[in-house]
């Protein structure tokens, strides 16, 4: 029996989603070998993770990961079976502090990639995709973009130098890849519509200043390049010097990130009018749910071209989380830096802000 077009399209969609998921899972599976074991026996995952982090900090180079895992499983089982043991209600670790400690722990593990920005894969729907750049670049072809596509982000960081100034001041490098894949567009042979590359270099300083009830926890100063790696006329790129000030209060984290643009802006000379010069981000953790909000604009323009993004991640199974994202504004991708985009997406997340 000959396979019909709807069936072929369904098989293609399943294959595309499977490929994207494989990319993301490859980056996360190394760092979570014992998550399933914690859940199967009903342990408190936060308590187990705290034990692992503490033992990693004190472990010698010869200590095996499975030794740490087994010891923490046994310790967690002992504590769970003893309900009379007192618990601390004051001085609890905040989500941001837990993220900082987890990051420091993974930096000492040779075969674990430390996440930077959230890593995720989702299906996004934009009712009005921007076809203009492609029509200009390929005037003799009839370019047609699907409203639905797969969007995924891969982001990781590596410490280059730690404790530059006594026990503070760390130099980091990071890379973020955000791709937009027309995985359901068989007419155009399932192309990648856009891929944005974003390497960064920055100095990071720990801090504990109190400001209006918040603690200024981290301050960073660095440079970032972002581009889509294409030739004219669809080349897009810019370079920035930035500062990033991160504050926390209980389950809330806020960041203020201003920047100045440096160097050439070939292909997007007016990018600051749309991408702005400051970014505000907030994240709130409620139980195992994380909600975040991004606001970006040009202060000098009177916020006439505002951009905002909301995110919600929630537990599914193991370390795999459900993920929903809504984007409204400019610059979801470099090719659309000056085009208003309205996208709703849903999928899976593998690492979050905390």
Residues with active-site annotation: 225, 227
Listed residue (11, 16, 27) closest to 190, CA to CA: 16
Q: How many helices (H) and strands (E) does the chain have?
A: 7, 13
Cα of 21 vs its chain's centroid, Å: 15
Alpha-carbon Rg for the chain in angstroms: 22
How far is CA 45 from each of CA 71, 73, 287, 291, 323, rounded to the nearest angstrom? 14, 10, 12, 20, 20
- Full DSSP string of 209-247: EEETTEEEEEEEEEEEEEE----TTS--EEEEEEEEEEE
Can you list the alpha helix ranges (DSSP code H) found in the chain?
5-28, 35-40, 45-58, 65-80, 95-106, 132-137, 271-275
Give the separation between CA 38 and CA 77, rounded to whole angstroms: 10
- Tell me how crowded residue 253 is: count the other CB atoms within 10 A of its CB: 26
């Amino acid at each position: 029996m000959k396979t019909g077009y709807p069936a072929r399209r369904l098989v293609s969609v399943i294959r595309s989603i499977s490929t994207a998921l494989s990319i993301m899972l490859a980056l996360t599976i190394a760092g979570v070998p014992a998550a399933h074991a914690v859940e199967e026996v009903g342990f408190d995952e936060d308590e187990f993770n705290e034990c692992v982090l503490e033992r990693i900090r004190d472990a010698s180079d010869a200590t095996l990961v499975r030794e740490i895992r087994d010891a923490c499983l046994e310790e967690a089982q002992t504590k769970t079976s003893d309900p009379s043991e007192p618990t601390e209600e004051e001085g609890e670790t905040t989500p941001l502090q837990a993220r900082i400690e987890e990051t420091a722990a993974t930096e000492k593990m040779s075969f674990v990639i430390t996440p930077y920005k959230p890593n995720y894969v989702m299906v996004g729907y934009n009712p009005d995709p921007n076809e203009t750049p492609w029509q200009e670049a390929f005037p003799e072809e009839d370019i047609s973009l699907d409203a639905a596509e797969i969007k995924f982000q891969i982001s990781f960081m590596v410490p280059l130098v730690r404790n530059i100034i006594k026990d503070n001041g760390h130099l980091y490098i990071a890379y973020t890849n955000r791709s937009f894949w027309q995985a359901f567009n068989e007419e155009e042979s399932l192309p990648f519509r856009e891929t944005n590359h974003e390497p960064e270099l920055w100095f990071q300083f720990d801090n504990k200043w109190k400001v209006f009830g918040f603690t200024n926890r981290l301050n960073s100063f660095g440079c970032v390049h972002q581009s889509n790696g294409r030739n004219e006329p669809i080349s897009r790129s810019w370079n920035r010097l930035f500062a990033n000030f991160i504050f926390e209060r209980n389950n809330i984290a806020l960041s203020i990130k201003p920047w100045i643009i440096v160097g050439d802006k070939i292909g997007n000379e007016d990018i600051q009018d749309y991408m702005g010069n400051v970014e505000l981000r907030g994240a709130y953790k409620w139980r195992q749910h994380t909600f975040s909000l991004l606001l970006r604009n040009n202060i000098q323009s009177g916020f006439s071209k505002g951009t905002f993004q909301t995110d919600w991640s929630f537990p599914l199974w193991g370390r795999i989380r459900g993920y929903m994202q809504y984007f409204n504004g400019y610059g979801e991708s470099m090719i659309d830096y000056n085009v208003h985009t309205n996208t709703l997406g849903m999928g899976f997340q593998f690492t979050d802000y905390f």
